[in-house]
Amino acid sequence: MFKIANGENYSLEEIHTHQQNGGSVLRSAHVGNFNPSTLFLAQEGFPIILHEHIRGNAKIYKPAYLKIDGHEFPITDQTTLPLTHSVINEEANDEIHQIMRGSFQRPAQVHYESLKKLFPNNVQLTSQLFFEQNTFFQEVLEVLSKRFSHLFSNFVDKNGNVFNLAENQSGNYQEYISEDGQQIRIDREQIGELTYNYLRQTIDAIVGSGENPEGIVMKSNLYVLLSSLCEIYKGRNGVERYHPDNVEVVHFSGAEMINYLVKNQKQVEQNAKELNDLYVVVKKEFEGLLPNTLDFRLVPTGMIGRIITDKDEVSKKIDDLFVANQSLTESYGNRQESRGLSADEIRQQVLSLDDQAVSQRVLELYDRIGDLPGRIKKKISDVKVMLEDFESYREKIIGTLISTEIAIKDTYSESGALDKEITRIRGRISEISTEIQKTELSEVSQYDVLEHNTKFYFPKSARELSQRQLQDIWNYSVRESSKELKQEIEIPKNGESNSEFKPKLK
C-alpha cells in the first residue's frame, strides 16, 4: 500500500532525527532558480533531487532566467523549449562567467552547477537517483511501462518538440501528437526503453556535453513513486534495516505537490488511487524487497518559507515572537487553572441549557453587545436574527453561544497579576509581529549565495514546533498585530483614505 499523509505535524528537529536514524527524507524540485526555503533545506543537509523536464518559461523556477540581487535576466532566447534543449545566448555568457567562473552551453547546466557548487553532497538530478539503483530501477520501469503505458505521457524529440499522448489508445502502438498535428507511433514494447534512454541522455546533456535527449517523459506520479522506491531501496537490500510491514518516507513539498497530493480533494483521491495501484503492482513483482506499506509523509514548506531569513537579526526577532507566544500559552494555562473553569466546562454548561434558556442568554448578550469582545459582536448580532427560526439554526446558535461564553471568560482585564502579564505579553507579540511584517521577505537565489556567501537562518525556538503549530502561532501573531497595521494603512495618502487592510505577508 502506498499511503499518503499530511506531514504538517512534523517539526524540523523530528525530520532531522528521522534522517539521522537512517530514515528516508527527500525534497523534490525542478532545475532552475531555487526559492529560499529550498535553499535552506539544502543548507540543512536534506537530500534535494532535481526533476530535469521543465520548460524554460515555468512560472515557479523561471529556469530560462538568472536571478541575482533581486533582478532577473534571460539567459536563453528559447524560453518555451524544455530546459534540456535550449541554449544560452551569447549576451548572457559574460554575466554567467562572472558568477560561475565557467562556460556553459545550456541553462540546465548553469542551474545544476550552481547548486552543486553550494551543496555538492546532497543535490542531484532525479535521474541520477534512479540510476544509482540501475538494475532495480530498470526492472521496475519495465514492469510499469507494460501495465501503465498511459502514464508515459509525452514524447520529446531532439529539437525539443513535445508530442502529447493521444486519447483512446489501443493495439500494439502508442500514438503521440504535437500541437501542430504531427504524429509519432511507438511500439508499446519500446516504452520502457525509450523512457530509460531519455533519462540517461538527460544526465549526459546536463552533467556532460551530450546531445539533446529524445524519448518518453513520465507523468508526475511515476516520479513520486520511483524516487520514493529508489530512496528506500538505496543501499538497504530491500527492507532488511526496517520492519517489513512499514517504511516511512518524509518528503518536503512545494506549493504544487501539497495541493495535488493533500489539499485538493478531487486530485487527492485520483492521485492516491493511482499511486497505490502502481505500488501494489511493483510490490507484487518484487516480493520481499519492498514493505507492505510505504508511508509517504508530505511535509508542507509554506511556513518554513515565511520564517527563514538571510538576516540573523530578523531571525532573532522571529525567535522572540515564538518565545512570547509560548509564554502566553503558559500564562493562559495558569490563569484558567486559577479560575477553575475550563473551556470544556463552559461548553458542557451551555449544552445543558434547554432551547428557551439558550435564546434568553443570546438576548441578554445582545443587550450588552457593546461590552463584548470585538471579534464576536457580529456573531451575536447574526445569531439574534437566527432566533426567529431556532430549529433551522439550532446548531449554529449553540456553537456561537459556546464560543462567546469562552471569549467572555477570556476577556483580558487589568485586575490581577496574571491578567496584567497576559496583557503585557499580547502587547509584546503585537509589537514584534508588526515589526516583522514590515520586513521584506528574502528573495535570495543560489547565485546570491555564490556571490555573497549568504547564509539562511531559522528561529531556534521554531525547530521543535510542527508545521501546524508554526502556522497557528503565526496566524495568531498576525491577528494580534493587524489593528496596528490597519491604523497605519488608514492614514490618508495624498488626501485619500485607504481603509483596506492587507497584511504584508506572502
pLDDT of the chain, 506 residues: tens digit per residue: 999 999 999 999 999 999 998 889 999 999 999 999 999 999 999 999 999 999 999 988 999 999 988 888 899 999 999 999 999 988 888 778 878 877 889 999 999 999 999 999 999 999 999 999 999 999 999 999 999 999 999 999 999 999 999 987 778 899 999 988 899 999 999 999 999 999 999 999 999 889 999 999 999 999 999 999 998 877 655 444 556 688 899 999 988 898 889 988 889 999 999 999 999 999 999 887 888 999 999 999 999 999 999 999 999 999 999 999 888 888 877 766 665 556 788 888 899 999 999 999 999 999 988 877 777 888 899 999 999 999 889 999 999 998 888 877 765 443 467 777 888 888 899 899 988 888 887 789 999 999 889 999 999 999 999 999 999 999 888 887 765 545 443 444 444 433 332 222 22
- β-pairing verdict for 293-300 and 154-156: unpaired
- Strand 246-253 relative to strand 293-300, pairing: parallel
Task: Fill in the DSSP letter of residue 11.
Answer: B
Same domain, 115 and 237: yes
Cell numbers for 15, please give them. 525530520
* 198 φ/ψ angles, rounded to the nearest 5 degrees: -65, -45
Number of domains in the chain: 2
| Cα–Cα distance for residue pair 181/442, rounded to 1 Å | 44
What is the pLDDT, as a whole number, of residue 411? 56
For residue 393, is it within any domain? Answer: yes
How far apart CA 64 and CA 33 sit, in angstroms, is: 9
Per-residue model confidence (pLDDT) at position 63: 93
Tally of CB atoms within 10 A around 44: 17
Q: What is the pLDDT of residue 95?
A: 78
Give the domain range for residue 369.
Answer: 311-441+457-487
Domain edge (last residue) among 305, 328, 355: 305
Block residue for cell numbers 509589537: 431
Q: With DSSP H G I counted as helix, E B as strand and the rest as coil, what are the percentages for the chain, rounded to 5?
A: 55, 15, 30
CB-based burial label for 449 (10 Å; 0-12, 13-18, 19+): buried
Give Cα 288 distance to the centre of its chain.
33
Q: CA–CA distance from 447 to each of 316, 406, 494 (Å)? A: 25, 52, 40
For cell 567562473, the residue is 101
User: Across the strands, what pairs with 300?
Assistant: 253
Cα 161 from Cα 82, distance rounded (Å): 8
**Alpha carbons 68 and 34: distance in angstroms, whole number:** 11
Exposed/middle/buried for residue 120 (C-beta within 10 Å: 0-12, 13-18, 19+): exposed
Three-point CA angle 331, 333, 334, nearest 5° = 65
d(CA 92, CA 78): 13
Find the angle CA(388)-CA(394)-CA(397) to the nearest 5 degrees. 80
Whether residue 81 is found in the same domain as residue 138: yes
Domain check: are 399 and 418 in the same one? yes
Please tell me the distance from the alpha carbon of residue 68 to that of residue 504, in angstroms, as a whole number.
Answer: 23
Q: Are residues 191 and 55 in the same domain?
A: yes
Grid cell digits, residue 493: 495618502
Do 270 and 335 reside in the same domain of the chain? no
Pairing of strands 162-165, 154-156: antiparallel
Question: Do 166 and 51 belong together in one domain?
Answer: yes
For residue 78, what are the CA distances in angstroms to 55, 56, 81, 88, 204? 9, 7, 6, 9, 20
Cα–Cα distance for residue pair 89/196, rounded to 1 Å: 30
The whole-number pLDDT of residue 485 equals 43
Please give the single-letter amino acid code of residue 490.
Answer: E
List the grid coordinates of 332.
Answer: 493562559
Q: At what angle do helices 191-207 and 107-118 cross, to 10 degrees?
A: 70
The predicted model scores a pTM of: 0.79
Burial of 446 (0-12, 13-18, 19+ CB in 10 A): buried
Q: Is residue 272 part of a domain?
A: yes
Distance between CA 456 and CA 313 in Å, rounded? 12
Residue of 121, 110, 118 whose CA lies nearest to 84: 110
In a domain, 505, yes or no: no
Q: Are residues 54 and 98 in the same domain?
A: yes
Same domain, 118 and 184: yes
The Cα–Cα gap between 107 and 100 comes to 12
* CA distance between the termini of the chain: 36
* Residues 214/158, Cβ–Cβ less than 8 Å: yes
295 and 363, same domain (yes or no): no
Residue 446 in any domain: the answer is no
Indicate whether 277 and 360 sit together in one domain. no
Question: Is residue 497 one of the residues assigned to a domain?
Answer: no
Of 305, 337, 369, the last residue of a domain is 305
Q: Are residues 177 and 276 in the same domain?
A: yes
What CA–CA distances, in Å, run from 269 to 7, 207, 264, 266?
A: 17, 37, 9, 6
CA angle at residue 445 from 439 to 450, to 5 degrees?
Answer: 120
Residue 481 inside a domain? The answer is yes
Strands 173-177 and 162-165: antiparallel
Cβ(176)–Cβ(310) below 8 Å: no
Please indicate, yes or no, if residue 53 is contained in any of the structural domains.
yes
Q: Check residue 410 and give its pLDDT.
A: 63
115 and 43 in a single domain? The answer is yes
Question: Would 132 be classed as within a structural domain?
Answer: yes
